[in-house]
Amino acid sequence: MLLQNKVALVTAGGSGMGKAGAERFAEQGAFVYVVDRDESATQSVVEGIREKGGEAAGIVADVRDLEALQGIAQRVEKEHGVLHVLYNNVGIPGAAGMDLSSEDWDALIEINARASFYLTHYLTEVLKAADGASVIFKSSSSGLVGSPFSPLYSFTKGGLIALVRSLALAFAADKIRVNAIAPGSVDTPGLSGFFRASPEEVEERKKAFFAQIPLGRASQPEEIANVALFLASGLSSYVTGITVPVDGGLTAK
């Protein structure tokens, strides 16, 4: 198994890409901390992992709360003393356009950027203790190319790509690799929110968008999880500071 006897932590692990990542890590032998603000979803994922013979624990937390993030780090330190894989998966589409309230701005910055920055910071010591850890940030194809509908979302996701490069250099001496995944459209419950349309228009907009993707479809959460597993495991032991597009060829054009 690729993650046998490793400890991993996944934010927004209660659904979508985070759930798929947590399950994939557990399948490969990791003990997985599933972090999410939805208690029911968190427990469901943990129970599902345990039913399949895996090991997991849930942590219910709002990633906008820095004290809660410190609490996560303290728990990992107390229970394991080490963290081999940190998957900063949390993120939201946020408000569209430029006519944003300060609350809209704060929510997107705090969830998409600040939370992952500070959680990585608070977990640095247990990552160092792994003597070869992997930190994965979930960016987006919208961080690689412009998004006319969501400029602030693109701003946060592009910022994560720059952060990954910087942290890869800063943490290299501690044997901590830092990389990002940039998904395109992923078939999750949150996908419709990116199309900024009424329910009647969403399906038409999806079809039009998917037609622009060379592979002609959205990805499945498990396809993103497979790339996360590669970056989390020793298969990518000489890979750091990069962003992997997982977008069906969208950004290749």
The residues assigned a catalytic role are 153
Q: What are phi and psi of 131, to 5 degrees?
A: 55, 45
Tokens describing residue 231: 């970056």
**How many CB atoms within 10 Å of residue 194?**
21
Tokens describing residue 111: 């969830």
Instruction: Report helix, strand or coil for 101.
Output: coil
CB 30 within 8 A of CB 23: no
Contacts of 48 (CB under 8 A, 6+ apart): 23
Residue 107, Cα to own-chain centre: how many angstroms?
17
Residue type, 118: Y
* Positive or negative: CA dihedral 80, 83, 87, 88: positive
Task: Please name every residue paired with 245 in a beta bridge, in sequence order, or none if there are none.
Answer: 182
State the DSSP string of 112-177: IIIHHHHHHHHTHHHHHTTTSEEEEEE--GGGTS--SS-HHHHHHHHHHHHHHHHHHHHHGGGTEE
CA atoms within 13 A on the CB side of 15: 13
